[in-house]
Amino acid sequence: MPVKPPFMLLCHAVYMTMSTGDLYRLASDLAAEHGPEAVDYASRAVMTLEAEGAHERAQFWFLMLILLGDISSGRVDPLGRISIH
């Protein structure tokens, strides 16, 4: 299922809207706090949540995994602006 901007999160039975910038800042903060281990945490979250049938939550962590991978590989600058096409 593709992610449609803005990404919607179900939080306490209310949908929260996160912009691309919000998601990118969150990924940047995770990378700064946990370093390369952040990618592993996100990967394990995707696998665990998919196995539990929590597909929307797994989709969020898959998006974090992609952003964290880009940050850790140096493909994007966590301090710069990002555009998703």
**Predicted TM-score (pTM) above 0.75:** no
Domain total in the chain: 1
- Residue 81 confidence (pLDDT) above 90: no
Q: Does 35 map to a domain? A: yes
One DSSP character per residue, the chain reads ----SSEEEEETTEEEEE-HHHHHHHHHHHHHHHTTHHHHHHHHHHHHHHHHT-HHHHHHHHHHHHHHHHHHHTSS-TTS-----
Q: Does 24 map to a domain? A: yes
pLDDT tens per residue, range 34-54:
988 999 999 999 999 999 999
Q: Does 3 map to a domain? A: no
Q: Does 84 map to a domain? A: no
- Residue 10 confidence (pLDDT) above 60: no
The domain of 54 spans 18-73
pLDDT band for position 77 (cuts 50, 70, 90): confident
Q: Does 83 map to a domain? A: no
Q: Does 43 map to a domain? A: yes
* pLDDT at residue 1, rounded to an integer: 46
Q: Does 82 map to a domain? A: no
* pLDDT at residue 37, rounded to an integer: 92
